[in-house]
Amino acid sequence: MPDKISFKLNEKPVELAVDGDRTLLWVLRTDLGLTGTKFGCGEGYCGCCTILLNQRAARSCQLQVKDVAGKEVVTIEGLAKDGKLHPLQKAFMDHDGMQCGYCTPGMIMTGVGLLRLNLQPTEKQIVSGMEKNFCRCGAHVRIIAAIQQAAAELKGA
Amino acid sequence: MKTEDYLAHNFRDLGGIEDIFTSNRRDFLKRVGGGIMIFVAIQDALFAQEGAPVRNRMRPPSDFNAFLRIGEDGRVTCLTGKIEMGQGIITSLPQMLAEELDTPLATVDIKLGDTDECPYDMGTWGSMSTRGFGPALRAAAAEAKGVLLSLAAEKLKVPQEQLVARDGIIFDSKNEKSRVTYGELAKGQKIEKHLETKPAVKDVAEFKISGQPHTRRDGEAKVTGKADYAADIRVPGMLYAKILRPPAHGAKLKSADTAPAKEIAGVQIVQDGDFIAVLHEFPDVAEDALEKIKPEWDKPEATFDDKTVFDHFQKIAPEPRVLKSGGDLDAGKNSAAKKFDATYLNSYVAHSPMETHAALCQIEGDHATVWVSTQNPFAAREKVAGVLGFPVEKVRVITPYVGGGFGGKTDNQQAAEAARLAKAVDKPVQVMWNREEEFFYDTFRPAAVVKINSGVDDAGKMAFWDYDVYFAGERGAQQFYTVPNHRTAARGGGFGAAREVHPFATGSWRAPGNNTNTFARESHIDVMAAGAGVDPVQFRLNNLKDHRMIRVLKAAADKFGWTSAKFPSKRGYGVACGIDAGTYVAGIAEVGVDADTGNVHVKRVVCAQDMGVVINPEGAQIQLEGCVTMGLGYALAEEVHFNGGEILDTNYDSYELPRFSWVPKIESVFITNNETPPQGGGEPAIILMGALVANGIYDATGARLFQLPMTPDRIKAALQKV
């Protein structure tokens, strides 16, 4: 039987009649049509499916939809505010922090999660914070530069 | 990639294609409406003049394969069958067009990889987009500008020589107020031009848009989640399919009870012999249902695995095919003061793009639309047409953004699966492989063996070079050092070899063959330098006459701040050179080795590259960084584990990709070389990484590694021999 599950998604309340054991990633991508969150490995290794759960980066392939009941979920689609990109999105563009772009939503969500915990990360802290996100094209150096730029901008804001 | 390799891989001779193109072209022209249109057939002499391979064994494209239109709104549209998978042609091709047409970059649109709208293209690989397609596109743009100028001369009643084009406007150089825009000129026109002779294109010195760094045009779509990949496409009524997979290549299904899966509400099962698929409106439910099917399989006996594969290769290797030889090897051996004999190995490597293979097929009446993650949409179209029994013109393949390819998205199996299932259930069906399927069906970079026998004379000059490569392919096998007595031979082809060679499919992997060959050659050059007691940079310079190679090597050494020392110097410096896709590349790395753990940290890589004219320096730099980073994977960790047809790696727990902490400081030098047309940029630097790291480890520790990847265990074993 479907369960009724309510949570906040990209600042709007949602209520789903859904089997609570289903994987959050697929509920986001299919039931809710938010395809910006990507499937990469399905086992929590690669970080392509990263979202924010109560402001913290979390892997949606490792969450069941019942895990987010009553909580706040932000996906890549919900990061821009009032048509204005988040400084980290902008920084990814400025630094060409992507090639194929498939890992990008997960990279950005992980980066935003990192900056929420630590607004002035050192390069070492950025590297260790991003270590479990994979990019096959090799955009790593640019991603680090983008996070540094966003950190500087957010600190000044 | 060599011409033969292209043809061996995914190309079938297509009889009767001309008719298809002719009829398609009529429809095509109807759809695009008015304006000025330029068609180019890349396969003509114009292309050959640029030094790129003419694939004359291929009949298509017989009509045209690049298309450029200037619309009545003044916008310029480029339509091409190539695709964007991260390499950046979505930016560099419009740059070339805008440059040649003298129109702002913002007025140029590009449409990629749609088989209904874009002209035929064989596929996006081999660093051919800028190198091969670029010149034709520039020529088309130059032709279009010629048409615009002649129209403007008529309209403004000014001699054509007196006209100047700038920013999408043509004006009279003697009276700038007398002007007309490209849009105004295109209005009411229906001009169709076929490029037959090569129009004059701009000299590099005149470039204003090309040669300037530009950030990606798809950046915003990619940072907002709006960029759609094949698995992101949604159509009403679609189902998601999960397919039952064998435990090993070559396994046969004995039995499967599908009843438990059927009990799940909404599940639909398709069974056709060995092929069993579970479909549902949610992919995760389909996957859960599939897991309830308990199949029994007959597995073929494994005859070799990832450890014994190298012996297997040497047992089955065919007679050598000599690629190049000169002088007299025996004379060389006699004149050599020191001889060096070594065998180099590398394992199978996965492409492992972050986006797994995906496709969605929608059939409407006698027509099908398929969204595919592919490097060759036209081959996907053929494959789907074959599965559905449709004529190819009734199949439209649309290529959304591709989430990485690296040579691995060319088989289109997932498109065939989606089509087969869509036909079976009469609904749109999406197939997206999970990571285990991606590893299982990947067309791996082949494992390979290279044997080198060489010698140096008393003066430190190479006296002879005898080289045999087994099953890696010949790209990059031919050496460029000056050696009087030499022989280079290939035993067995590269990727795509028969099943007796590899127990699973192999394919092209970013710079196919060249990673293996450059690792072996450049390691061996270092072995010789060490044996001769000469600094490895100096040893190379002493044995080089090719001025482009000397120039890149010196540039890398300068940028790095190379100083001579007795090697191994304990500094961890490694050097390597190579040629790929027409580009010359030399690198120097600094590595650190932890003798206790066997861990290697590559601290710094300096790479000098001569790639001819650089169209987008930002893009070239990014591709170089990508090569260095991705290359660390095959150098240090990536290795497919298997037992016969069983692939033991199913996810990233056992198969490692490069991570943030591995990435060195990457510095580059791009040689200014405007005498050479643009060459490949997406592959060259990656070929160096094996030898750069191996030579760096030698310099740091005195230990020589002969096998890729250089895992901590192999490094510890090598250290014990020092």
**All structural domains of chain B with their residue ranges:** 3-211, 235-299+358-437, 317-349+444-720
CATH architecture of A3-78: Roll (3.10)
For the domain spanning A87-156, the CATH number is: 1.10.150.120
What residues contact B236, with CB distance under 8 A and at least 6 apart?
B428
Going by pLDDT thresholds of 50, 70 and 90, the confidence category of residue B617 is: confident
Among B58, B82, B78, B55, smallest CA distance to B67 is for: B78
pLDDT tens for B75-110 read 999 888 889 999 888 988 899 899 999 999 999 999
Decide if B3-211 and B317-349+444-720 have a common fold.
Answer: yes
Sign of CA dihedral B467, B472, B473, B474: negative
Q: Residue B546 has which token pair?
A: 């090719």
Portion 70-109 of A in contact with B at CB < 8 A: 75-77, 79-80, 85, 89-90, 92-94, 96-105, 108
Q: Do B283 and A105 touch (CB under 8 A)?
A: no
Q: Do B404 and A136 touch (CB under 8 A)?
A: yes
Q: What is the CA radius of gyration of chain B?
A: 27
Burial class (CB in 10 A: 0-12, 13-18, 19+), B56: exposed
Please tell me the distance from the alpha carbon of residue A121 to that of residue A109, in angstroms, as a whole number: 16
DSSP B585: E
The most distant pair of C-alpha atoms in chain B lies apart, rounded to whole Å, by: 84
Up-side HSE of residue B349: CA atoms within 13 Å toward CB? Answer: 32
Q: Do A102 and B353 touch (CB under 8 A)?
A: yes
Residue ranges, comma separated, of all CATH 3.10.20.30 domains in chain A are: 3-78
Buried b (16+ CB within 10 A) or exposed e, B7-45: ebbbbeebeebeebbeebeeebeeeeeebbbbbbbbbbe
Among B420, B692, B425, B394, smallest CA distance to B572 is for: B692
Chain-centre distance for alpha carbon B434: 23
Q: Do A36 and B221 touch (CB under 8 A)?
A: no
Residue in A with minimal Cα distance to B629: A138
Q: Do B223 and A94 touch (CB under 8 A)?
A: no
β B448-456/B462-470 pair status: antiparallel
Probe site for chain A from B223, B349, B409, B650 (most A CB atoms < 10 A): B223
pLDDT tens for B534-559 read 999 999 999 999 999 999 999 999 99
Q: Residue B499 has which token pair?
A: 């099943």
CATH architecture of B317-349+444-720: 2-Layer Sandwich (3.30)
- ipTM score here? 0.98
The domain defined by B3-211 carries CATH number 3.40.50.300? no
Range scoring the smallest mean pLDDT among A77-81, B66-70, B666-670, B694-698: B66-70
The domain defined by B235-299+358-437 carries CATH number 3.30.365.10? yes
pLDDT tens for A13-61 read 999 999 999 999 999 999 999 999 999 999 999 999 999 999 999 999 9
pLDDT tens for B17-60 read 333 344 455 566 666 666 888 776 654 433 333 333 333 333 33
More confident residue, B402 or B615: B402
